[in-house]
């Protein structure tokens, strides 16, 4: 086996080497959990290695890199986990799970969502024209968008989708995208409201859809928008599932 690098544990007082451990392959960076805090964790060391070569399946434009966690609490280092990473992180940070666990927010409480464009129930979903600006107040919940059919958008309009994720469950974000839009997509956490601006560049029917797999019926989270020519008199209408 090709070993090009190693980590070394020193006794700093008398500069004595206590232990050496091979890494696979070249250490790029080392990380100690909490290394940027006042209380670094002196029990673990993570080696982020480059030049992984033959360790993982050679797929994709960039090979997986490898990382290794050592228990450094004793004089002898012990390899306790060896895992692939994408890229060799140049500035990684780790913390003990209990530092994070009790303080993480699982979802935003919809009742305390004070976003001015929030839509707190499907009954409140609406589409409003203000000159050439169209505001779509949309909701997402498994497994549909409300509204999911919109007509009366015209060339020259700017369309703002203010999407509220009505879910009140952990780990159920929804995404939102328009086919052919030039900007990115939204990722909306449960209870959150975010906005996507879209300026249609041609007449036609445009699919819109959830981009985050959310259940077996994820594919149902889709809808259509008709864009009519500038100056057309197609009335602004919207509905769901009809
Ligand atoms: Cu979804």
| Structural domains counted in the chain | 2
Question: Rounded to the nearest whole angstrom, what is the distance from the C-alpha of residue 145 to the centroid of ligand 1?
Answer: 8
- Taking residues 69-77, what's their average pLDDT? 94
Is the same domain home to 91 and 181? no
Is the same domain home to 233 and 119? yes
pLDDT at 62: 78
CA 14 to chain centre: 48
Question: Rounded to the nearest whole angstrom, what is the distance from the C-alpha of residue 139 to the centroid of ligand 1?
Answer: 11
Out of 20-34, 59-73, 111-125, the most confident range is 111-125
pLDDT at 242: 65
Is the same domain home to 114 and 20? no
pTM, to two decimals: 0.76
Question: Rounded to the nearest whole angstrom, what is the distance from the C-alpha of residue 199 to the centroid of ligand 1?
Answer: 23
Domain closes at, from 76, 103, 130? 103
pLDDT band at 136; cut points 50, 70, 90: very high
Question: Rounded to the nearest whole angstrom, what is the distance from the C-alpha of residue 234 to the centroid of ligand 1?
Answer: 29
pLDDT band at 48; cut points 50, 70, 90: very high
Structural domain range at position 36: 5-103
Residue 46 has pLDDT above 70, yes or no: yes
Is the same domain home to 132 and 79? no
Is the same domain home to 49 and 80? yes
pLDDT band at 1; cut points 50, 70, 90: very low
Residue 54 has pLDDT above 90, yes or no: no
Question: Rounded to the nearest whole angstrom, what is the distance from the C-alpha of residue 148 to the centroid of ligand 1?
Answer: 13
Is the same domain home to 119 and 188? yes
Question: Rounded to the nearest whole angstrom, what is the distance from the C-alpha of residue 210 to the centroid of ligand 1?
Answer: 5
pLDDT at 3: 53
Domain closes at, from 85, 103, 121? 103
Domain closes at, from 80, 103, 126? 103
Is the same domain home to 117 and 97? no
Question: Rounded to the nearest whole angstrom, what is the distance from the C-alpha of residue 196 to the centroid of ligand 1?
Answer: 16
pLDDT in tens, 74-100: 999 999 999 998 887 888 888 888 888
């Amino acid at each position: 086996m090709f070993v090009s690098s190693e980590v070394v544990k020193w006794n700093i007082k008398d500069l004595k080497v206590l232990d050496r451990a091979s890494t696979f392959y070249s250490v790029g960076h080392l990380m100690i959990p909490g290394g940027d805090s006042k209380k670094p964790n002196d029990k673990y060391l993570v080696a982020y290695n480059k030049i992984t070569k033959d360790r993982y399946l050679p797929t994709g434009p960039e090979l997986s890199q490898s990382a290794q966690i050592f228990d450094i609490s004793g004089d002898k280092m012990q390899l306790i986990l060896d895992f692939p990473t994408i890229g060799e992180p140049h500035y990684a940070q780790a913390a003990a799970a209990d530092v994070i666990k009790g303080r993480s927010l699982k979802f935003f409480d919809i009742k305390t969502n004070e976003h001015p464009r929030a839509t707190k129930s499907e009954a409140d979903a609406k589409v409003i024209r203000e000159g050439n600006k169209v505001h779509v107040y949309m909701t997402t919940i498994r497994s549909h968008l409300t509204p999911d059919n919109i007509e009366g958008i015209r060339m020259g309009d700017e369309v703002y989708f203010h999407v509220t994720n009505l879910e009140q469950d952990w780990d159920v974000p929804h995404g939102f995208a328009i086919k052919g839009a030039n900007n990115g997509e939204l990722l909306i956490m449960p209870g959150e409201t975010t906005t996507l601006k879209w300026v249609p560049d041609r007449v036609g029917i445009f699919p819109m859809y959830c981009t985050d797999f959310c259940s077996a019926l994820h594919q149902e989270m889709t809808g259509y928008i008709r864009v009519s020519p500038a100056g057309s008199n197609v009335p602004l209408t919207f509905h769901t599932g009809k």
